[in-house]
Structure 1
Amino acid sequence: MITVENLTKTFPGSTGQVRALDGVNLDVAAGTVLGVVGPSGAGKSTLARCVALLERPDSGAIRVDGTDLVSLDGTALRAARRRIGVVPQGDSLLRQRTAAGNVALPLEAAGVAGPQRRSRVAELLDLVGLTDKAGSYPDQLSGGQRQRIAVARALAASPSVLLADEPTSALDPDTTGSVLTVLDRARAELGVTVLVVTHDMGVVRRICDDVAVLEGGRVVEHGKVLDLVSDAASRTAASLLPAVDQNPGAEAAFDRVADVVLVGFAAVGALLPEATSRFGVDLNLLGGGLTRLGETPVARFRVGLNGERADSALEWISEAGGSVRRTLAGPQGVAA
């Protein structure tokens, strides 16, 4: 588990001190994947570097499995760092070493014996799906393969936490998918807690359980992805869910208009048709669509309803687990 408490970090700038992190607080449960997102300069990479103690924060606490890393130094700090694997941004492999040799580096540094070291390297190459590339050099690998080897190297010392800084930057969609699969397998098969810094909300959509949105060095939104997308007003919902275009002309033809978010197979497949039959209303889809967050289907639709029991239908959808937000196109622009 990772706990960040009131973390601050400043750097000297041309006009004075620049506050990269400003009182950041986060809790990351063990065995989850947290996506840290936000615009350029929001403090995402600084947060990751502080958690790995590659940068010392000015103040605050960083607890990994209950140990405050900021209070450590010397041998204790080096031991704690071995519990945190880091996948740096960009291509970080040593060109003179094979794929297997790169993965073995942390084990050699820790003095792991040859047979045990070779066994661990073989396990990790299998995990990232590159057993057949063990003897290949980085320049013989694709960008995605090099990144998967970098993940394997970061996992070599059996860390409890894995930090990945923009692990899919400059990769094509297919290659991105293979890297994200590796990160997800690390969580699922090794129980590693994964913190992913990314500008790509597709990464959050694919593998993240939780998300933290940074802006100006502060956390402006944090929580479980599926909880946040249920709130149509959240930044996460705006970034991850299908867009709904305004069409006042079409919406004016309905007694009630609402944006509805449905999470899960049962809700997506059944709530709207059942509301139609239960309350005898005419329900039309005016916009939106379906997406998938991890393995969970999620829909956001703008719906138009006609009928005397339109309000009752929207209230029932809300009570049954849907998120309903009425728009100003209808008689009342309030949430059900």
Structure 2
Amino acid sequence: MITVENVSKSFRSRTGSVVALDGVSLEVAAGAALGVVGPEGSGKSTLARVVSLQERPDAGAVRLDGLNTATLDTRTLRATRRQIGFVTGESQLFRQRTAAGNIALPLEQSGVDGPRRRARVGRLLDLIGLTDKAAAYPDDLSEGQRRRVAVARALVGEPGLLLADDPTANLDTDGAAGVLAVLDRARAELGVTLLVATKDTGVVRRICDDIALLEAGRLLEHGNLFELLRHPESRAVRELLPVIDATPSVGQDRVADIVLIGFAAVGALLPEAASRFGVQVSVLGGGLTRLGETPVARFRIGLRGERSDGALAWIDDRGGIVHQPLTGPQGVAA
């Protein structure tokens, strides 16, 4: 469990003090994946460095499994830091060492013997899908492959927590997908807790359970993705789900925004509602996306028929998330 308690952090600049984090509090359960999202200057990278113990907060505390890291002496702090993996949007590999040699470096520095080094490096090369590139040098790898090697190096010490700061920055689509697949596998197969700082909400949709939205150092919203989708005012809904660019709703008896989660809901809920209640259901705007492997739809729908209200209530009762109907009978504002 990671607990961030009212953490603040400022830096000096030529024009004065810059507040990077302003009273941020959040929790990450063991084995979970949290996406910290925000634009440039929002404080997400600073939060990643504070949680990874590379920076000390000016105020507040970071607790790792209940341990208050602010109270640690220098020696214990170093030992605790070794239990945390950290990877950035730059691979930062040593050009004179092979992929396997780069992954093995932390083990060499900590005195792990040869057989154990080779076994651990071999497992991680398999995890990142680069067993056949073990003897390749960084210059012979694509940037996406180099980034995956960097992730493996961060994992070689068997940390319980992995911090990834903008891990897909400046990668093409295939390279980014490869890195995210590795992070997802690390969590699933190694049991690491994952915190990813990114400005790309696509990263959160792909591999995260929870989201924390930062802006100008302040935490705007924090919670489980699927829980937040139930709140129409949630920033996560706007950030993660398709934008509704609706067609005119003239002639509809009811118009409502809905969120459908899961294969059954997305594929069958609207046609079944139309059939059961004898109404015509039209999709006026929105679209489909995925959160992990789960399909999620955000639609604006129009309903025409005497039992439109009943159809909306039925959709809501069957797990669809129906936000307040936007219009009343015959398209007149309710």
Tell me the distance in 1 between the aligned counterparts of 2:85 and 2:60. 22
Which residue matches 2:241? Answer: 241
Indicate if the aligned counterparts of 1:252 and 1:329 stay in contact, CA closer than 8 A: no
Report the CA distance between 1:329 and its aligned residue: 4.3
The structure 2 residue matched to 1:292, chosen from 290, 293, 296, is 290
Cα 1:89–1:174 change in 2 (3 A) is closer
Q: How does 1:164-175 map to 2 (within 5 A)?
A: 164-175=164-175
Which residue matches 1:35? Answer: 35
Indicate if the aligned counterparts of 2:143 and 2:171 stay in contact, CA closer than 8 A: yes
Tell me whether 1:279 sits opposite 2:290 in the alignment.
no
Report the CA distance between 1:73 and its aligned residue: 2.1
Report the CA distance between 1:258 and its aligned residue: 0.7
Q: How does 1:281-320 map to 2 (within 5 A)?
A: 281-320=279-318
Which residue matches 2:253? Answer: 255
- Per-residue Cα deviation, 1:232-265 (whole angstroms, up to 9, x for no partner): 33222112212211333xx021011111100112
Which residue matches 1:109? Answer: 109
| Percent identity of equivalent pairs | 64
Which residue matches 1:267? Answer: 265
Instruction: Give the TM-score normalised by structure 2.
Output: 0.95
Q: Select between 322-331 and 13-22 the one with higher mean Cα deviation.
A: 322-331
Indicate if the aligned counterparts of 1:257 and 1:326 stay in contact, CA closer than 8 A: no
Report the CA distance between 1:273 and its aligned residue: 1.9
Which residue matches 2:210? Answer: 210
Q: Aligned partner of 1:136: which letter?
A: A
**Corresponding residue SS for 1:247:** coil
Q: Aligned partner of 1:44: which letter?
A: K
**Corresponding residue SS for 1:174:** helix
Indicate if the aligned counterparts of 1:229 and 1:240 stay in contact, CA closer than 8 A: no
Indicate if the aligned counterparts of 1:232 and 1:261 stay in contact, CA closer than 8 A: no
Q: Aligned partner of 1:169: which letter?
A: A
Tell me whether 1:71 sits opposite 2:91 in the alignment.
no
- Per-residue Cα deviation, 1:29-53 (whole angstroms, up to 9, x for no partner): 1111111101110000000000111
- Per-residue Cα deviation, 1:173-195 (whole angstroms, up to 9, x for no partner): 11111110000000000000011
Tell me the distance in 2 between the aligned counterparts of 1:213 and 1:60. 19
**Corresponding residue SS for 2:323:** strand
- Per-residue Cα deviation, 1:58-110 (whole angstroms, up to 9, x for no partner): 01111112212221122211111111000023131111211111111111121
Q: Select between 150-159 and 231-240 the one with higher mean Cα deviation.
A: 231-240
Which residue matches 1:151? Answer: 151
Segments of structure 2 that go 5 or more residues without pairing to the other structure are none
Instruction: Give the TM-score normalised by structure 1.
Output: 0.95
Q: Aligned partner of 1:193: which letter?
A: T
Report the CA distance between 1:301 and its aligned residue: 1.3
Which residue matches 2:53? Answer: 53
Q: Select between 320-329 and 57-66 the one with higher mean Cα deviation.
A: 320-329
Indicate if the aligned counterparts of 2:161 and 2:192 stay in contact, CA closer than 8 A: yes
Tell me the distance in 1 between the aligned counterparts of 2:227 and 2:261. 9
After superposition, the CA RMSD in angstroms is 1.5
Tell me the distance in 2 between the aligned counterparts of 1:258 and 1:201. 25
Tell me the distance in 2 between the aligned counterparts of 1:151 and 1:330. 54
Tell me the distance in 1 between the aligned counterparts of 2:108 and 2:18. 39
Tell me the distance in 1 between the aligned counterparts of 2:236 and 2:326. 22
- Per-residue Cα deviation, 1:188-222 (whole angstroms, up to 9, x for no partner): 00000011111111111111111110011111011
Q: Aligned partner of 1:60: which letter?
A: G
Tell me the distance in 2 between the aligned counterparts of 1:325 and 1:12. 45
Tell me the distance in 2 between the aligned counterparts of 1:214 and 1:31. 22
Q: Aligned partner of 1:301: which letter?
A: F
Report the CA distance between 1:270 and its aligned residue: 2.4
Q: Aligned partner of 1:291: which letter?
A: T
Indicate if the aligned counterparts of 2:253 and 2:327 stay in contact, CA closer than 8 A: no
Q: Select between 118-127 and 228-237 the one with higher mean Cα deviation.
A: 228-237
Q: How does 1:164-203 map to 2 (within 5 A)?
A: 164-203=164-203
Tell me the distance in 1 between the aligned counterparts of 2:288 and 2:317. 21
**Corresponding residue SS for 2:289:** strand
Q: How does 1:83-162 map to 2 (within 5 A)?
A: 83-162=83-162
Tell me the distance in 2 between the aligned counterparts of 1:28 and 1:64. 10
Tell me the distance in 1 between the aligned counterparts of 2:243 and 2:103. 42
Tell me the distance in 2 between the aligned counterparts of 1:89 and 1:116. 29
Report the CA distance between 1:327 and its aligned residue: 5.1
Tell me the distance in 2 between the aligned counterparts of 1:246 and 1:326. 16
